[in-house]
Amino acid sequence: MLTKEEYKRYDRHIRLKEIGVEGQEKLKNSTVLIIGAGGLGCPVSQYLAAAGIGHIILVDHDMVSVSNLQRQIMFTTNDIGKPKAEVIKERLSAMNPHCKVTTVLQQFNKENALELIEKADVVVDGTDNFSSRYLINDACIIQNKPLVSASIQGFDGQLSVFNYNNGPTYRCIFPNPPSQEEAPNCNEIGVVGAMVGILGTMQATEVIKLITGVGKLLSGQLLLISGMDMSFQTLKFKKNPKVTNISTLGDYNFDFCATPDNNVEISIYQVEEMLADTSQTLLVDVREEYERDIDDIGGIHIPLAELEERIDKLPDHENIIFYCQSGKRSRAAIDVYQSVKQNNAKVYSLKGGMEVL
C-alpha cells in the first residue's frame, strides 16, 4: 500500500493510465540489483529511486576518482577516494527516503553472483568489461532473472533486455567474447559523458516498463544509438538454444583491460620500497604524452600503443613496473611485455595508477 506522502510524491506516475496506483505499488514492492556504480549506475539508480523502486542493491568495490567526474555526475570533487556505492546510497536516501538502498562493496564475481541475483526481480548491468557482462548474463540465465544491459564507447551506445520470460540472452547475439586482437585497446577507449546519461536513463525506463508490465520491451532487439548524428537503429535477434543451456558458471577470466591479476598488481608503497631497495627496478610510464605532461613519477616513457615495437629498447632489470592513469593500461602492458620478452624479469603493474596518488 502507498502512504499519503507516496501518493503525492508519485502523483505524475499515478496519473498515467499505464502505471496508476497498481503499477506504482509494483515498483514499491520490487528489488532491483544494479551491478556497477559508475557511468551507467549513476543515472539508472537515480531515476529508479525517484520512480519509487522499493529496494535497490548496488554492487561496486571501486572508489571515486577524478577521472570519473566527467561522466559520473552523482559524484563531486569532495567524493574522490570514497566508495562509489556508499556515495550513491547517501544521495539516493536523501532524494527518496522511501527507497531502501543496500550496498555491496565487493567485486561482482563467481562466488557471489548467484546469491546476489537471486535476491532481485530485475538485474541491471552497468559494468564496462566483457568478463562481467558474460558472468552477469549466465548467472541471470541460471536464476531466471531478466537483465537490462547497456554499453557505451565514444559517441555510440547499445541497449537491450535479455532473458525476459526465458527469451534471447546476451550470448544469443554475442556468443563468445572478442579475441584480444578484436577488443579495443585500453588507451583508445573514450566515452562522451552525455551518452552515458542517455543510455542510463533508457535502462531505467526499460526497468520501469518491465516491472509495471507496460509497453514493448527491447527483448530480442538490440538498440544501437549514434550520438554523432543522433540516429537510432534496432537489430532483431532470436534465442539460440545452443548458447542458453547454462546450468553452472564457467571461466570468465578473459577480459583484457578490466580484470586485474592481483599477483602482479602492487601498491605505490611497494613501488617506493622496490625503488629504494634495489637499482634493478625499472619504472615504465605507458600513458600518452599529454598525460605525462600533467604529472608523472619518473621512469621511462613508452605509450602502450608503441610498447610492442619499442620493447627491445627497455634495459634489462630484475623488476619492471608499468604504470598508467588508472591501472588498466599498465596491466595490459604486462601482457604485451610477456608475449614478446622471454626473460626472468618480474613484471608488475601499479594498482590504481596515478589516480591513487
pLDDT digits (tens, 9 = 90+) for 75-109: 999 998 899 999 999 999 999 999 999 999 998 99
Per residue in 295-315, pLDDT tens? 888 899 999 989 988 988 888
Give the C-alpha separation, 26 to 29, whole Å: 5
Per residue in 132-148, pLDDT tens? 999 999 999 999 999 99
Per residue in 316-342, pLDDT tens? 888 899 999 988 889 888 888 887 877
Give the C-alpha separation, 329 to 185, whole Å: 8
User: Domain 4-236 class?
Assistant: alpha beta
Catalytic residues: 186, 324
Which pLDDT score is estimated for 262? 44
**Span 265-350: which CATH code?**
3.40.250.10
Between the alpha carbon of residue 170 and those of residues 85, 210, 327, the distances in Å are: 25, 17, 28
CB proximity list for 197: less than 8 A, separation 6 or greater:
43, 71, 73
Q: Is 31 helix (H, G, I), strand (E, B) or coil?
A: strand
Q: Could you give the residue range(s) of every CATH 3.40.50.720 domain in the chain?
A: 4-236
Cβ–Cβ < 8 Å for 21, 2: yes
**Cα torsion angle, 64, 68, 73, 79, sign:** positive
Q: Please, what is the average pLDDT of the chain?
A: 90
Which pLDDT score is estimated for 341? 78
The mean pLDDT value for 206-234 works out to 96
Give the C-alpha separation, 110 to 251, whole Å: 9
Checking if the pLDDT of 179 tops 70, the result is no
pTM: 0.74
Looking at 9-13, 30-34, 323-327, 339-343, which range is the least confident one? 339-343
Bridge partners of 320, per DSSP, are 282, 347
Which pLDDT score is estimated for 261? 43
Neighbours of 238 (CB within 10 A): 10
Neighbours of 207 (CB within 10 A): 27
What is the DSSP secondary-structure string of 202-213?
HHHHHHHHHHHT
C-alpha cell at 310: 619499442
Residue of 98, 67, 63 lying closest to 81 (CA atoms): 63
Q: Could you give the residue range(s) of every CATH 3.40.250.10 domain in the chain?
A: 265-350
